[in-house]
Structure 1
Amino acid sequence: MSIHLPAPEHEFHYTRRDFQQVRERLYQHAGISLSENKQQLVYSRLSRRLRSLRLGSFAEYFVYLENHEEEWQQFVNALTTNLTAFFREKHHFDHLGRFAAEQVQDHQPLRFWSTASSTGEEPYSMAMTLVDALGSFAPPIELIASDIDTGVLGQARQGIYPLERIEALSPAQKKRFFLRGTGGNAGKARVVRELRQMIDYRQINLLDRDWGIAGGLDAIFCRNVMIYFDKPTQTRLLERMVRLLRPGGLFFAGHSENFVHASHLVRSVGRTTYQAVESH
């Protein structure tokens, strides 16, 4: 005979209306569209904030949010997903290395932007690629890395990772670009100082009117970001980004993203790699 145990009750009262309010606030503040199947994820992530703030319900949290401007950042941090890895979608970095080696002869410095840097694996992969391609730990580049989540930006600046996070790198890459921790840091590795100093980390909400980034960029990495926005927001952001690219600059997208709806803005020049349509 099997016994069916009742599902555990939520610690905090949580309704579908609460979920919809979270969705609306996240969309209005960060442009992120949460899908209908994220109801349990929202409860799991935000219940930690309720405990931390000693609040008794989601209704109380919404009131707190409206009256404490600084809590909006914690709200966004809690609900954003930061899935990343070193040299994720390796073909992009192969393309970036070839492109940089060609372009450096024509103009300097080369300028790049990682728009959703998360805990730093993407911009550090870009930096390693550029060091190898240009043959210097002080290449003529400007590399900006941004994220909306202040928590992951702090981790990125430190550049400290569990050893298993760098397992897929070659022995030469590990030796050249990482220091193995000892003592209390055993089991960890840190990105070498020269590489950390190459990257300018900034907190940027892509919905902000002013990103504080000048035009003339050689490449923009905006991978697995657009999937969180609806089509009108995607088009609006893509239009702003391609205007920042210099003629011939590259736009790298994620493997699950396509811009069929924005063929007037970008054209494919490789696997999930784009250039601006000339009129833009």
Structure 2
Amino acid sequence: MEIPRLLAPDVPTETDLQAIAQILHSRAGIVLAPGKGAMVQSRLGKRLRRLGIGDYRSYLALVTSASGEDELKAMISALTTNVTHFFREKHHFEMLRSRALPPLIARARAGGRVRIWSAGSSNGQEAFSIAMVLAELAPDHEALDIRILATDIDPQVIACGQAAIYDPQLLDTVPPALRARFFQPVPAGVQVVDSLRRLVTFRELNLHGPWPMRGQFSIIFCRNVVIYFDPPAQARLWARFEEVLEPGGWIFVGHSERIARAESRLETAGITTYRLPQDAGANGETEWH
């Protein structure tokens, strides 16, 4: 017997798009700009076909229901843009190597604690780029209390980061010496070596929800993330980052992003780089491992 083909879902109406935009904004802070109907249809149409749902009204009823939390996460994941590569915006890693990390490594060697956060980490290329610079500067990093937290709202990219397996073509931006030292061939591609993977902890996190971490970070990378938020959401996020940044701590933002809050204590320290003054005050210890 011939199995009937599932018909393509209906085109989302303007009402559907407004509802999807409202969910994205309320749950993830993401602004869905006008004129994105084709993008929504392209990305969510696959979800509807997989679920056997023929219209967006029924799909919206699912994702807003008590039993639809998993599909809601899948919807946000499908509509989230993940663009990244190793050592993106090289000037940030030069600053990391020359100014930000050396005193922190010295502190760790003296028994101190150092925490770095890659917020909006996508599939882990940013976090592992940070880890490679750190491992270069501190071959003894496994004996030091230095850890990198990598978070993203998308559980699929978090799983990619945890696996740390990449297409070899993605390593084009990794210097050959680092490529040889920190990656090993596996059947599915190349994998980050264990010593580097142990530096990085991946966690699913909605930046606009509660943060389970307590205390402060020495360095925060949040690049090309807030451009998807509206100005009030951006301002709230910059303020929250400042609260968890230790005195003298660094924050690196995307090439088209600026922290322009008049009440901010952050000072410009380089191209899309900011730093909290050493006398800014402290908020406590970081509790995550």
TM over 0.5: yes
The residue number in structure 1 matching 2:154 is 149
Give the Å deviation of 1:11.
4.1
The residue number in structure 2 matching 1:43 is 41
The residue number in structure 1 matching 2:286 is none
The residue number in structure 2 matching 1:223 is 223
The residue number in structure 2 matching 1:88 is 88
1:29 maps to amino acid: R
Kept after mapping to 2: 8 A contact 1:84/1:121 = yes
Give the Å deviation of 1:279.
5.7
The residue number in structure 2 matching 1:274 is 274
The residue number in structure 2 matching 1:133 is 137
After superposition, what is the alpha-carbon deviation per residue over 1:172-200, rounded to whole angstroms, capped at 9, x for unaligned? 1111000023xx43xx2111111111111
1:233 maps to amino acid: A
The alignment partner of 1:105 has SS state of helix
The residue number in structure 2 matching 1:264 is 263
Q: Runs of at least 4 residues of structure 1 off by over 3 A?
A: 276-280
Question: Which whole-Å CA distance do the structure 2 matches of 1:201 and 1:155 have between them?
Answer: 10
1:14 aligns with 2:12: yes
The alignment partner of 1:145 has SS state of strand
Shift of the 211–171 alpha-carbon distance from structure 1 to 2, 3 Å rule, reads same
Question: Which whole-Å CA distance do the structure 2 matches of 1:253 and 1:13 have between them?
Answer: 36
Give the Å deviation of 1:75.
1.2
The alignment partner of 1:104 has SS state of helix
After superposition, what is the alpha-carbon deviation per residue over 1:54-80, rounded to whole angstroms, capped at 9, x for unaligned? 111000101111222222111111110
The alignment partner of 1:248 has SS state of strand
The alignment partner of 2:20 has SS state of helix
The alignment partner of 1:18 has SS state of helix
The residue number in structure 2 matching 1:115 is 119
Question: Which whole-Å CA distance do the structure 2 matches of 1:243 and 1:276 have between them?
Answer: 10
1:100 aligns with 2:94: no
The residue number in structure 2 matching 1:63 is 61
Of 167, 170, 184 in structure 2, the residue corresponding to residue 165 of structure 1 is: 170
Question: Which whole-Å CA distance do the structure 1 matches of 2:93 and 2:157 have between them?
Answer: 22
Question: Which whole-Å CA distance do the structure 1 matches of 2:162 and 2:72 have between them?
Answer: 22
- Cα RMSD (Å) of the superposition? 1.7
The alignment partner of 1:220 has SS state of strand
The alignment partner of 1:239 has SS state of helix
Shift of the 11–55 alpha-carbon distance from structure 1 to 2, 3 Å rule, reads closer
Of 25, 34, 49 in structure 2, the residue corresponding to residue 27 of structure 1 is: 25
Give the Å deviation of 1:264.
2.1
Kept after mapping to 2: 8 A contact 1:26/1:32 = yes
Q: How many residues align?
A: 266
Kept after mapping to 2: 8 A contact 1:114/1:222 = yes
Q: Flag structure 2 segments of 5+ consecutive residues without an equivalent.
A: 1-7, 282-289
After superposition, what is the alpha-carbon deviation per residue over 1:145-179, rounded to whole angstroms, capped at 9, x for unaligned? 00000001001111111111002222211110000
The residue number in structure 2 matching 1:6 is none
1:191 maps to amino acid: V
Larger displacement relative to structure 2 (10-19 or 238-247):
10-19
Question: Which whole-Å CA distance do the structure 2 matches of 1:243 and 1:122 have between them?
Answer: 22
Give the Å deviation of 1:13.
3.3
The residue number in structure 2 matching 1:5 is none
Kept after mapping to 2: 8 A contact 1:137/1:195 = no
Question: Which whole-Å CA distance do the structure 2 matches of 1:104 and 1:189 have between them?
Answer: 28
Question: Which whole-Å CA distance do the structure 1 matches of 2:174 and 2:52 have between them?
Answer: 43
The residue number in structure 2 matching 1:179 is 184
Question: Which whole-Å CA distance do the structure 2 matches of 1:177 and 1:43 have between them?
Answer: 40
